[in-house]
Amino acid sequence: MKPRRKIAVIGAGLGGLAASIRLASAGADVTLFEKNSHAGGKLHNVKLGSHNFDFGPNTITMPEVFRNLLADAGENPEEYFHFDRLETHTKNVFSDGSFFHFSADADRTEEEIAALDPDSALGYRTYLEEVRNLYLKAEKHFLYRTFRSWRDYLSLPLAKALFGVKPLTGLDRFHRKFFPDPRVRQAFNRYATYIGSSPYMSPATFALIGHLELNDGVYFTRGGNANIAGGFLRAAEKLGVTVKLNTEITGIQTSRGKASAVTTDQEESLDVDGIVMNGDLLTQVPALIRREDRTRLTDEKINRFNPSVSAFVILAAVSTRFDLHHHHVFFSSCYKEEFAGIFDRQSYADDPTIYVCTSSKTDSSLSPDGDNLFILVNAPPLPSGKTENVDRDAYASRVFERLHQRGIDINSALVHKKTVTPGDLARNFYAYRGALYGIASNRRSDTFLRPFNQSADLKNLFFAGGSTHPGGGSPMVVLSGRNAADALLSELEKD
């Protein structure tokens, strides 16, 4: 009988938790290291007084990805978390005061679009069909597999599939085909931000997010989305994973082209047969692996990757209930200018699009004494090699002022406030330049040619998370953890 494989997983974000569950259920001896005191990485609960907030993912799609991970490991997902579908999930409000809702009830969304612009409603059903097809193609060819080297792109079926997902059309251009009204288009173009990119640069491939939200639906995890991370942690421990919180990996030792051990800031060393790195590979490869051991993924190569958007977040605990939807978006007057500011000039918008998630609208017990407003404004990632350029109190006041102009007077009801900047995301999670989703998908090369899931330098080192395949966002990183675990096990089988 072969000895159990000893695997270290670096980082207990959703990707690392998923990899650990998958590896342990296949019989590996797994140790999961997390530098922070909580599991879940960017997804975690924040408590301000009696107000509970989900930090990180607020919009959950593809619930089957989370459930299947547990079911395939022999666990009953219902014992870990429960998802409720929010049928009419998002209120889109435009700068002229007009609005419509996104709903998985197609009749309702179609009617509301028609009230704004009848011509834009005409294309809605065709749009839903097209984005469903886009999603099905991506699911078949890209989501449930790793990309380990250039050779993976050379198969004819994959090349055909690539052309089938509209890589050469821009997202905004794709949406113009269906929605002549600029307000309606602005709401659909926002999907580019779900992968941290600009609708004026990213490929139409990502219109598939429209399928997830509008055909399938948006979900909320009962008790808060952080319960996904809590459930994964419990399942990992039950399956025998050794979880070491407050333990940072400080180095990866190598021997003959392979990773052989990891060292921690607790002066421990663990010999390993393989590693899944969930911490952002663009910061952690240079931090943990000596230059002479990584001649293929050099600092120069890493610095060429463009980070996704970052965020300026305000958690506002208020003493009242506002007239807000669970997901509520106040759009700016000029979307194009906002993205040009973020990506071309690395500047914060004076009139930003403001996303407010108020999960207490669905479950008031999360904040019994008033609403829990998670307010997010897209922000430029940290400038390369420079320090953060935002005054957090001044910018938070600016955002509150803009919300006041839209009828939401936060200052008069504010009990607690916490701000999180791109610099905080870089420090707390070692996110590459504070990015939310790893690498941006503004260039085709960044969308389809992300860093591979397998290290070209160390054959038993695999990557999971937003900077590798299949991409950023909570279901995608769970898939990447699962895919990386399977690929590592099959690599170790070769020995």
Ligand X SMILES: Cc1cc2nc3c(=O)[nH]c(=O)nc-3n(C[C@H](O)[C@H](O)[C@H](O)COP(=O)(O)OP(=O)(O)OC[C@H]3O[C@@H](n4cnc5c(N)ncnc54)[C@H](O)[C@@H]3O)c2cc1C
- Quick one: which of 220, 445, 188 has its CA closest to 326? 220
Residue closer to ligand X, measured from CB, 124 or 135: 135
Distances (CA, A) of 422 to 62, 382, 390, 392: 27, 6, 9, 11
- H-only helix segments in 169-256: 171-178, 182-189, 208-210, 226-238
Residues β-bridged to residue 311: 378
Under the binding rule (CB under 6 A), the answer on residue 468 touching ligand X is no
Instruction: Tell whether residue 58 is a contact of ligand X (CB under 6 A).
Output: yes
The residue behind tokens 């051990």 is 261
Instruction: Tell me the window of 20-28, 144-152, 340-348, 472-480 that interacts with ligand X (CB under 6 A).
Output: 472-480
**Which position among 8, 14, 329, 390 is part of the footprint of ligand X (CB under 6 A)?**
14
Neighbours of 113 (CB within 10 A): 25
CA proximity to 187, closest of 61, 316, 327 = 327
| Interaction of residue 430 with ligand X, rule CB under 6 A | yes
Task: Rank residues 80 and 429 by Cβ distance to ligand X and give the closer one.
Answer: 429
* Pick from 50, 125, 96: nearest CA to 367: 50
Q: How many residues bind ligand X (CB under 6 A)?
A: 38
382 binds ligand X (CB under 6 A): no
Question: CB 111 → ligand X: shortest distance, Å?
Answer: 26
109 binds ligand X (CB under 6 A): no
Closest separation in Å from C-beta 372 to ligand X: 14
Q: DSSP letters of 385-454? A: TS-----HHHHHHHHHHHHHHTT---GGGEEEEEEE-HHHHHHHH--GGG-SSSB--SSHHHHHSPPPSB
Please identify which residue in 466, 483, 489, 491 interacts with ligand X, judged by CB under 6 A.
466
Rounded CA-CA distance 197/183 in Å is 19
429 touching ligand X, by CB under 6 A: yes
Q: Per CB under 6 A, does 473 bind ligand X?
A: yes
Determine, following the binding rule CB under 6 A, whether residue 43 of this chain makes contact with ligand X: yes
Q: Which of 22, 35, 89, 101 binds ligand X (CB under 6 A)?
A: 35
CA distance 121 to 198: 24
Residue 70 makes contact with ligand X by CB under 6 A: no
> For residues 224 and 220, what is the distance between their CA atoms, to the nearest angstrom?
7
Regarding 338 and contact with ligand X (CB under 6 A), the answer is: no
Question: Does 471 interact with ligand X (rule: CB under 6 A)?
Answer: no
- Provide the mask over 295-314, with x wherever binding to ligand X is found by CB under 6 A and - wherever it is not: ----------------x-x-
Binding of ligand X by 15 (CB under 6 A): yes
> Which residues sit at the interface with ligand X, rule CB under 6 A?
10-16, 33-36, 41-43, 56-59, 248-249, 278-279, 284, 311, 313, 376, 425, 429-431, 436-437, 465-466, 472-474, 477
